Structure 1
Amino acid sequence: MKQAAATRASSGRLAVDVRGLHKRYGDVTAVRDLDLRIGRGEVFGILGPNGAGKSTTVEILQGHRARDGGEVTVLGADPATGDRLWRSRIGIVWQDESAPAELTVRETVSHFAAYYPTPRDTEEVIDLVGLGAKATSRVKGLSGGQRRRLDVALGVIGDPELLLLDEPTTGFDPAARRQFWDLIRRLAHEGTTIVLTTHYLDEAEALADRLAVIAAGRVVAEGTPSGLRERYYAPATVAWTESDGSPRTERTTTPTRTVAELTRRFDGEIPGLLISRPTLEDVYLRLIGQEAA
C-alpha cells in the first residue's frame, strides 16, 4: 500500500494541495511558506514539536481557520469558501472533546450521523472504535480514553473522503491504540485519504505512506518513513566485544562489510555482536534540531 500511495501524490489527483501557506498570530509566525501535496487515498503523517504549526495547518485545511497567505485546495475547493456539501465530505477528530456530556454514546453518534448525507451505520461505527459495551452509557461517565474513542467515532460517522486527525490517540491505552491503527488501515484500504498529526513516532511509522516533518512553521523534510531514515540518518551502529572483554562500537554506512571484516578477524563468531539501524525517532530529533550530543 505504501509504495503505491507514495506515487499517487505526484502523479494523480490530489486530495490536498498547499502552496506557500502563511499564518501569523500577532507578531508570531505560526506557518511560513509551507507546501504540501497529498494524493487521494494516501495516509499522510505530519510530525513536529509543539508550536511547529501542525494544528494550525490542519485547522486551515478543514476551513476552521483563515490563512494570511498562500493557496490551499482540499478536495477540489478552497477551504475558506467551502460550502456545506464540501464540509460533509471531510471528517475531523479534534484535539479537544466535542461530544455533549448528557447524551449516551449511541445517541451522540446517531445525532452526528444526521448531519451527513450518506453516513456509516451507527452501530458499526460504535463497534469499530471499541465502544459497543458502552453504547448506552452517558458521555459524562466515560473514561478519558473512551471519550477519545467517541471523538474518533464522530470523525468517521460521515463516511468521509478525507479524514483529518489531530493527535487522535492521546489518552489511549496500548490496546486502544492498536485498535485505532486497525481502523485507520481499514479506512485507507477503502480509499479514504487520511492526514494524521501525532507525537507518537511508532504510530507515524506504522500508518503513514509518507511523512512531513515541520519545524518553525516550515516543512524541513518529506518522504516515506524508510526514505527519511536513509536520507537523513544513514549510518548504522555495529557493536561487539574485543578479545580482552572491552566493548567497541562503530558507526558505518556499510555494516555488512564491517561484520564481514570482524568475522575474518575473530575467525567465526563475533562476541557480543549487535547491529542497530537508525529509527524514525533518530531522524525526527535530528531534523528538529534536538538530537542528543
Structure 2
Amino acid sequence: MHTDLVAALDIGGTKIAGALVDGHGRILLRAQRATPAREPGDTVMDAVADVLTELAASPLWRGVRAVGIGSAGPVDASTGSVSPVNIPGWRAYPLVERVRAATGGLPVELIGDGVAITAAEHWQGAARGHDNALCMVVSTGVGGGLVLGGRLHPGPTGNAGHIGHISVDLDGDPCPCGSRGCVERIASGPNIARRALEGGWRPGPDGDTSAAAVAAAARDGHPVAVASFERAARALAAGIAATATLVEIDIAVIGGGVGKAGDVLFTPLRAALAEYATLSFVQRLTVAPALMGTDAGLVGAAAAALTTTPPQPNARAAGV
C-alpha cells in the first residue's frame, strides 16, 4: 500500500478536478466534475463531494493521509473558508470543514490557486532548485505565490504573493479590486485584448478576440498587437522587480494562457526587467516559462498537503 498518498482538489469556476497523488508528485488517479458555478453553494459542494467519492472508491484511498485544496480566491486559510469571485454561491464558505466531514476527518490544507501553482513549480517544475522564487499565473486574471528560504510562503490567509494587485501605474485605470493601475488591469489576457481592440487591432475572419489571437498577430508584426504585449510585459516587469527588491527572489516563473505567448511576451519582459530590477541584489533575476501545465493546481495542492501533514496512513475503509 502507498503510505505517502494525498488527495488533491483543484477548484475553479469551470471545473473541479481531483486526484490521488504520491510523494513523488505522480498522479495515480483522477476524477473531475463541471463546476455548477451559478448554483447555490451547497450544490457546488455536492460536485466536490462527487469527486471525492469517485476517488474514495479506489483501493488506493486507504493510503490517503490528507487532502490538499487549491481554490480560486479569495481564500482564507486561517478560517478554512473560500469566496471565489467566479463562484457566487461561495461567500465565506466553510470549505475545509465540509471537505473534512466528507472524508471522515482527514486533515485538510487549503491554499489559493496561485500558491498551489507555485508549490507545483517549486516541487517539480521551473522553480525547482531555487530557494527564493515568485511564480505567476497570467491568464483571465493575474495571480501568484512565493517560495522564500526554500519553503512555500502562503501567508496567514493563503494569499501571499498575489502580484496581480500590486499597483504599477499610480494614475492608471481603476481596477475591479478597488485600486488603480494594477498589474492584472494591464497584463491579464482580457486586458491585453481590450487594449489591442481599443488601439485599432481587428480579429481575423474567425472573430477571435482573445489574447492568444493578439499574440498571433504580434508574432506577425502587427504594431498594435506588439504594443499591447509590450505594455503587459512592462507591467509584469515592474511587479516582478518590486517583489524581487522586497524579498530577494532569484527567479520569476510565468504560467497561464498569456505565459504561453512565448517570445512575444518574454522578449519585451526581459528587456523591461533590466530597466526596473537595477539594484545589485536583483540584477541576476531570471524569468522562465512555467513547466507544469494543466496539472499544476493538483500537484501543488498535493505538495501543500504532503509538507504539512505527518507521514502516517489513515486506516479507514474506502469511502467518504
Give the TM-score normalised by the residue count of structure 1.
0.28
- Point out the structure with max Rg over C-alpha: 1
**Which structure has greater strand proportion?**
1
